[in-house]
Amino acid sequence: MELYIIIALLFIHFVADFPMQTDDMAQNKSTSNKWLGAHVLVYCFCFWGAHIIWLIVGAIFFRFGVDLPYFSPIIFGGFIFLNGMLHFCVDWVTSRCSGHFWAKGDRHNFFVVVGFDQFIHAVTLILTAKYLIL
């Protein structure tokens, strides 16, 4: 498995899950499927944008004799769709749990849930990458 691809996917996940998530999404996704859906849509668009950038960079590198792995847009689209659905399901559960702890003022368990949420996302990204694109 190409380690640099896994690192890139985890970085894209970080950007999509934190900087690109608006305050409204973060505050409301634990009680509203509309806001959770909006978060997942932005998440998926970040991966699609990264795929397009990868194709452009790959074409430029290929011109100079460097052959980067090619990811079929159809297969990568399936990867994005599957990860979007998994992300929705994971966040549906974990955001409700973390929201419960936050409302109680239990910051320790809030962050335990947030950390576990990130662990699950990393595992799903790695496994889906292994079976779909690597």
Q: What is the pLDDT along the chain (134 residues), one digit of tens a residue?
A: 589 899 999 999 999 999 999 999 999 999 999 999 999 999 999 999 999 998 888 888 878 888 777 788 899 999 999 999 999 999 999 999 999 999 999 999 999 999 999 999 999 999 999 999 87
DSSP letters spanning 78-132: HHHHHHHHHHHHHHHHHHHHHHHHHHHT-HHHHHHHHHHHHHHHHHHHHHHIIII
Q: Kindly report the pTM of this predicted structure.
A: 0.91
What pLDDT, on a 0 to 100 scale, did the predictor assign at position 95? 97
31: containing domain: 3-133
As a whole number of angstroms, the distance between CA 112 and CA 64 comes to 46
The pLDDT of residue 102:
95
pLDDT of residue 117: 98
Q: Report the distance separating Cα 76 and Cα 49, nearest Å.
A: 11
* Number of structural domains found in the chain: 1
Measured between alpha carbons, how far is 70 from 92 in angstroms, rounded to an integer?
33
> Within 13 Å, how many C-alpha atoms sit on residue 63's CB side?
5
